[in-house]
Structure 1
Amino acid sequence: MQPSLAARASELREKEVSSDRKGLDSFLGHDRQVIDKLAQAGIIRTDQMIEAAFTPELRESLSQRTGIEIHKIIENLKLSDLSRLKGMKGVRARLYYEAGVGVCCRI
């Protein structure tokens, strides 16, 4: 059976997007202890961070499970969100974050 056009488009998009996924440790100035705790919770890539901390409730739950302070979770979430932009590498994402840009829609 031949896959539908929508299924094929989804497959191609996933292939393209997966090549751009970054590890949380790719950001300049990352906190190794925080990255290790997130890894123990199964969160090693930016897409996983966004999924795991998408809502305030999820962030609170993640904080309780990992022992990571909320502000550190939000920092990694914002860096992960910025990294979704084309050409946004770890150093540039950190620069934007430090300049007060925390989400893609502000750029």
Structure 2
Amino acid sequence: MNILAKKRGAATKVAILIGIFLVAANAPGKPANAQEEDIDVSCYKGNLEEGNYIGNLTVTDPDTAGQSCNSTYYDCDGKCFGCFPDLDLSEEVCYDDAGREFLK
């Protein structure tokens, strides 16, 4: 009876490992809410109140809006912010080159 119990225990462990493997193999690479979405960004240089508009571009990650503006437009000279409208706040959300968020 001891041998039979050991075989059942081993079979159970194998079944559990196979189940874990199948679940892991079918899991998505990203969380469901992390789907990439194109965001239209307006690039401004320096003081946002002065309206120093440089141009537009599209990003998939809002945190990179400032970096993308600075790497796309030579005129930015590392001083641009990337801004896009936030419909929930009725304001524009902006990101600087370091990825810091602020409202316009």
Q: TM-score, normalised by structure 2?
A: 0.34
Larger Rg: 2
Q: Which structure is higher in strand share?
A: 2
Higher relative contact order (CA 8 A, sep 6+): 1
TM-score by length of 1: 0.34
Higher helix share: 1
